[in-house]
Amino acid sequence: MNLVVDIGNTVSKAALFEDQKLIKKQTFLELNLQDLIHFTNSIKLSNCIISSVQKKNQNIEAIAKHFKALYFSHKTPVPIPISYKTPTTLGTDRIAAIVGANEEFPNQNLLSIDAGSCITYDYFLDESYVGGRISPGLKMRFSALHKFTNQLPKVDSADLHFKKGTDTNSSIIAGVQQGAIDEMDAVITDFIKENQDAVVILSGGDGNFFEKHLKNSIFADPLIVLKGLNIILEFNAK
């Protein structure tokens, strides 16, 4: 049994895999060692991997030490070629998503989109990871409008969606959400024009929202990062 831990900017996820099969998963607002011990419930583990977009701290170190985990970094071997000029600054979650997508859709060009705290676009072309884009996520865009103006209110992302607002709040929702939708659709459209047989995979906490509003066809897989981490763990265990 493998334990996979994905520590994000907003939430963390843990999952148990038996070979490539997901057995159990859980999302944590604040992850700590005791939570993970309770999650694994004394199950005998073969291997563990930790991926974190946060800087390594005592909490992460305690988890890694207890579970004798592989701490995923730019030095960790992965089963795909990476063509990126600054690998030390490349998010491990971005690589994990591409690894997972490549396993699901082998021998195809891929665009992996993760709609979380940031919206990341990652390209896998001609059997190699070649880079991508990073832009603010929905919550970050809402927060920025309030923080960097004197009078605009703080509005939270919601299931409500407007293409055109009739008051300030709905105008902010329309501007932020429809702006992000249009951005994502434009990126996908350009990618498909250049790679007609390619596959687009969508994941992340806001993935469900975008899936409902995108014009383009995509494959939604909220587990793609966890799957990719498990593949990387198995690759290193061998």
Q: Does the annotation mark 93 as catalytic?
A: yes
DSSP 21: E
- Here the tokens at position 204 are 């992340």
For residue 22, report the phi and psi dihedrals to the nearest 5 degrees.
-75, 125
Burial of 169 (0-12, 13-18, 19+ CB in 10 A): middle
Beta-bridge mates of residue 51: 6
Handedness of CA 50, 211, 136, 182 (dihedral sign): positive
Long-range CB pairs of 135-141 (<8 Å, 24+ gap) are: 135/183, 137/180, 137/204, 137/206, 138/176, 138/177, 138/180, 138/206, 138/209, 139/10, 141/176, 141/179, 141/180
Distance CA 67, CA 46 (A): 10
Active-site entry in 6, 19, 35, 93: 93
User: In this structure, are residues 233 and 4 in contact, taking their beta carbons and an 8 Å threshold?
Assistant: yes
- Give the residue numbers annotated as catalytic, written as ranges: 93
